[in-house]
Amino acid sequence: MQIVRTLKTKDLNRLLLAGMLFSAAGPVIGQTLRLDWTLVGGGPRLDMAMSVAVDSGGNPVVFGGIVGTIDLSSGQTFVGQGPGAFLAKLTNSGTVTWLSRLSGAGLLRGDMRMDGQGNTYVCGSIDPAGKFDAYAAKFNSLGELLWLQELSGDGAETAFSVAVDSSGNCYVTGQLSTPLTTVFEGIPVATANGRRYTGFLVKFGPDGTKLRKRLIALGEPDNGGGYAWPRASALDQQGNLYLAGDFFGPVSFDSITLDGILPSALSYNEGGFVAKLDANWNVTWAKAAEAFTDSDATPSFAMFRDIKIDADGNCLITGSFEPRLIVGTNELAGNGGWDIVIARYSATGDILWAKSAGGPSIDSGERLVILSDSGDFALAGYFQGAASFPGTNITSQGVQDLFVASYDHNGEPLRFSTIGANAMAYFGAGIDRGPDGAVYVAGSRIRNPQQNDRGFVDNQDDLDIVVAKLVFDTGDPNAASARLLLSIEAGQLVLSWPKTLGGVLESAAALGADPAGWKAVEATPDAGPTHKMVRVNPASATAFFRLRSVQ
């Protein structure tokens, strides 16, 4: 038996959403990256997925933030007050296996990694006594908390990224909110010459013991400049640690100073940075990607949001910039608003190539995953309206769509897919690859988004969690269309699927129902020229539907 597609219906608005969501697919670039299933859930307030990791069995674990109640349509819910973090494990068919909650964790951006035994390591910010401290935590493969460690100072600190080595040690990096923070984990933040460190790095053992810590990125934030905030980290096979984030110069990484001032620009510039530390945490190189503008009236901005290391030790980065960006010897011109940057550096810090994507609105590259030993990779993010990506032009279905794009090691396009719907805004925040090659993405969405004068979505207090699985089509013409589609016609729910596929349409009250809970839909399919169709009254359609093909 093969489950081809599962759809949830709840009310007429959600039916319209589901119909658009599950048929959402971008233009084909070579082989198709096809949407297999999507899970949307949450509560009445702000909920978001920030990261996803896939275990050796192909089952994704999702990490994110919630306020109050969360419902992932599995019969499992959390009910509580105040913010918290959650972990949810799903099967590769989208059924929720377990949910775990970490109360008190903030909704600021966090991160998650998984080791070879299925343990997950998370980081973010936690509010123990009216101020934010950074934290790191480890859960086992059953979602049970093994340890939780706070990283405290006398100001506000946030952990942005976690990396894990083969021995089960984890490395957490983050931001110090100077001048509020003067001491972090017992280490003075200010130096004798009045400069301050603005980032931190802490190593934990498998049991949560703090093995090592240091401060990084020495700047002059008290004088209006000089900071660097590491947003992402990655380890190579030799134990070298790579950091990426945003900076405002001048800022120093050991003896290497990034100025952040271009002679041709009229003002100071924000930029993205990449730095490599050896196994002893000595900085071996640091590189700047500087955003710039020719007019004081035009803001300049850049941020590297993720970094991954390929089998050859090259590092791949993504992020966003405005309006122009210098990456090594490459000058990237934006299209207005935020644009997406993708670049690859060698293990010695030389720029190999850099490319941009986007349109006149707000577009961002958020997370990366390496797909193969040859260096193919996939990128998840979001875009608004009309946008140009390497190899294709695309227009969002809603106000803002989530996208997944895959490329070869030279940055040449391979595949592209989107998730979006009318009157919706989607955010892509996490991506990982399963052992079978399937790609899982996590993020959030908001209905009836409201944008400010720059195009950013403002009303983010009613976000829902989004998790999706995408698969590579095999080239079989039936495989490309082997999907259960949903639409609304004359007030009725219409489910359709290819005639060549056959199969039995079934429904259940819950996605996590046991096999006996799935019943055949009592309706005679209409025979169209290419598809079979079943029409259902939406008033009686509070259910999940799936198409089961018997092989």
Q: In the block, which residue shows the tokens 């198709």?
A: 32
Q: For position 148, what pLDDT does the model report?
A: 94
Q: Is the pLDDT of residue 73 over 60?
A: no
120 within 8 A of 87, measured Cβ to Cβ: yes
Percent of the chain having pLDDT more than 70? Answer: 73
Least confident of 187-196, 199-208, 269-278, 331-340: 187-196
Confidence of residue 70 (pLDDT cuts 50, 70, 90): low
Burial class (CB in 10 A: 0-12, 13-18, 19+), 37: buried
- Element (H or E) spanning 536, and its range? strand 531-536
pLDDT, average across residues 347-357: 97
Cα–Cα dist 23/425, whole Å: 16
Q: Which residue has the higher pLDDT, 455 or 472?
A: 455
Amino acid at 403: F
Select 31-483's CATH number: 3.40.50.300, 2.130.10.10, 3.40.50.970, 1.10.1040.10.
Answer: 2.130.10.10
Cα–Cα dist 340/508, whole Å: 41
Dihedral sign computed on CA atoms, order 485, 430, 466, 53? positive
pLDDT, average across residues 245-257: 90
Q: Mean pLDDT over all residues of the chain?
A: 81
* Of 261, 120, 134, residue with least CA distance to 185: 134
Q: Provide the β-strand partners of residue 488.
A: 493
Cα–Cα dist 145/139, whole Å: 4
Confidence of residue 8 (pLDDT cuts 50, 70, 90): very low
Q: In the block, which residue shows the tokens 């803002």?
A: 400
Query: pLDDT tens digit string along 504-523?
Result: 777 776 555 566 777 777 66
Q: Which two tokens stand for residue 79?
A: 């009910």
Q: For position 496, what pLDDT does the model report?
A: 72
Q: Is the pLDDT of residue 502 over 60?
A: yes
Q: For position 460, what pLDDT does the model report?
A: 64
Q: In the block, which residue shows the tokens 């908390």?
A: 145
Query: pLDDT tens digit string along 21-37?
Result: 333 333 333 346 788 88
Q: For position 505, what pLDDT does the model report?
A: 78
pLDDT, average across residues 108-118: 89
Q: Is the pLDDT of residue 266 over 50?
A: no
Q: Which residue has the higher pLDDT, 542 or 544?
A: 544
Q: Is the pLDDT of residue 67 over 80?
A: no
Cα–Cα dist 88/414, whole Å: 31
Q: For position 529, what pLDDT does the model report?
A: 58
Query: pLDDT tens digit string along 395-415?
Result: 998 999 999 999 999 999 888
Which residue ranges make up each domain of the chain? 1-23+484-551, 31-483
Dihedral sign computed on CA atoms, order 214, 220, 221, 225? negative
Cα–Cα dist 498/340, whole Å: 37
Burial class (CB in 10 A: 0-12, 13-18, 19+), 471: middle
